[in-house]
Structure 1
Amino acid sequence: MSDPVAQLLPVAAVFLLAGLVKGVIGLGLPTVAMGLLGLLMKPAEAAALLILPSLATNLWQLFQGPRFGELLRRLRGMMAAIFIGTVAASGIVAGGDSALIRAGLGAALIVYALFGITKVSLQVPQASERWAGPVVGATTGLMTGATGVFVIPAVPYLAGLGLQRDVLVQALGLSFTVSTVALGLGLGWNGALPASAMGASLGAIAPALLGMAAGAWLRHRVSPAAFRRWFFIGLGVLGGEILWRAVSNGGLL
């Protein structure tokens, strides 16, 4: 990482904001952090910074839910595919063409924002879960390894399982935790997880948790639906900015 000290304040601000979003709507920390950090540094550096605060907040979310064992049994095929796909594809974000990775990151944010804004909902028949879960998991893993974004298509798929809200939040925590661990292992395997990055990632845990606490407080004082709508609009704008920069400055035109 070029100058961790100079990046300390903007990185802390990014994780404070990302934690706040997660505290209000229950997701979004890795997505917001990866998107904003993608404006400040290379995708591999942003992904390395993401590891520890994402792991801490998602473990918190995972073990607050009521049905960990049941979810793990139900989603084990999907989780295994996420893990394998992420580790296998992690060399892309670790050492691939930076402009192409940024373009992929921007496109992933735009797609996710469109899902959120349009409120497209999937209906996943229970009989289809045995094959659909691993397919969605592998696709999510490839997206995670290529861009550092964990959400497509895992989030729409999990939302389509008809889970109760608390169980859905826990399922998202499980998916994001597996993605984070796999991404960390993949980055380390590809030599993209230096000690300096892990130190900065450790330092990002505190602002992320502080942001989550602030978001939990704010959740009872704002309309979550309105906040969620503006979050997805902002995410789409951010994705468009990242995509435009990658295409225009990266020689992809």
Structure 2
Amino acid sequence: MFDLPPPLLAAVAATFFAAGFVKGVTGMGLPTVAMGVLGALISPLTAASLLIVPSLVANIWQLLAGPSFGPLLRRLWPMMLAIAAGTVLGTSWLASGDTRLTTAALGGALVLYSGYTLLARQLSVAQRLEPWLSPVIGAVTGMVSGGTGVFVIPAVPYLQALGLGKDDLVQALCLSFTVSTVALAAGLGVRGVFQFDNLALSALAIVPALAGMGAGQVVRGRISPTAFRRGFLFCLLLLGVEMLARGLA
């Protein structure tokens, strides 16, 4: 990968800075932005291999920095277990190299959800439904994550519908994304398609990703919960439009 021309290496660095900034503000978006941009320049498998290390480091950083790791883990562990299993199974789609239809469907779902929530009342999930709904959401999220390399549907709308506070929502997202990242790497490795020769460049991508995330966290700390929610949903809408366009191109 170090044989890449300097303009492409610069594009990789800029992509991870932008992806880190989005994650710093919203708690999500690093894999989605990275896959969206890099997928237009290199193969999806190569892009997925590159995002593993910076995504894992960024998520663990935000996860451990939050105030509610223990309570969230006790509440969400069935969902996390289902995400891991679903992601490993779903990597068969990504390994096939054809993710256009699944990416387009994922983008369409994001557009519909974020558009509805921006224009209508906030969705909510009753706590009594969590014991059976969380594993279902986790399994579907895992299959989508394994098939597309992005980790947002339906986990992100579901976690937001639980009514978590701003910081707890970011931490819950990071917990979900950390599990998805590890499971994605494991699934690709089991299928013999993980590109280990890209790990060095993936590790170097940590620097721009963390720099972007730090800048995004500064912005997040200065906005109100209402502005944060609207910005969060707007980012979902933009990510959905990007994935829908890429999948249908």
Q: TM class by shorter-chain length?
A: 0.7 to 0.9
Q: Please give the per-residue CA displacement for 1:129-187, whole angstroms capped at 9, x wherever unaligned.
A: 11101100000000011111101000111111122222121111100100000001111
Which residue matches 1:244? 248
CA shift at 1:106, angstroms?
Answer: 3.1
Deviation at 1:230, TM superposition (A): 5.2
- TM-superposed CA distance for 1:198, in Å, is 1.1
Q: Which runs of 5+ in 2 are unaligned?
A: none
How many equivalent pairs are there? 242
Paired with 2:159 and 2:228, the residues of 1 have a C-alpha distance of 20
Task: After TM superposition, give the deviation of residue 82 of structure 1 in Å.
Answer: 0.3
Q: Which amino acid is the alignment partner of residue 74 of structure 2?
A: R
Contact 2:22 2:213 in 1 (8 A): yes
What whole-Å deviation, never above 9, does each CA across 1:197-239 have from its counterpart, x for those lacking one?
A: 2112111111100111222234438965665465344324322
Alpha carbons 1:106, 1:240 under 8 Å: kept: yes
Q: How does 1:153-168 map to 2 (within 5 A)?
A: 153-168=154-169
Q: Output the TM-score relative to the length of structure 2.
A: 0.88
Deviates more, 1:166-175 or 1:34-43: 34-43
Give matches, 1:1-253, under 5 Å: 4-5=4-5, 7-94=8-95, 96-98=96-98, 101-119=99-117, 121-219=122-220, 220=222, 224=228, 227-228=231-232, 231-245=235-249
Mapped to 1, the partners of 2:230 and 2:136 lie a distance apart of 32
Q: Please say which of residues 229-238 and 22-31 is displaced more in the overlay.
A: 229-238
Q: CA RMSD in A?
A: 2.2
- Tell whether the 8 Å contact from 2:114 to 2:234 is kept in structure 1 after alignment: no
Of stretches 58-67 and 221-230 in structure 1, the one that deviates more from structure 2 is 221-230
Percent identity between the two aligned chains: 49
Aligned-partner residue type, residue 81 of structure 2: A
Report if the CA contact (8 A) 1:21-1:29 is conserved: yes
Q: Which residue identity lines up with residue 106 of structure 1 in the other structure?
A: A
Q: Residue 20 of structure 2 contacts residue 213 of structure 2 at CA under 8 Å; is this kept in 1?
A: yes
Residue 194 of structure 2 aligns with an amino acid whose one-letter code is L
**Aligned-partner residue type, residue 90 of structure 2:** A
Instruction: Say whether the 8 Å CA contact 1:108–1:149 is kept in structure 2.
Output: no
Deviation of 1:39 (Å): 1.2
| Structure 1 unaligned residues grouped into runs of 5+ | 246-253
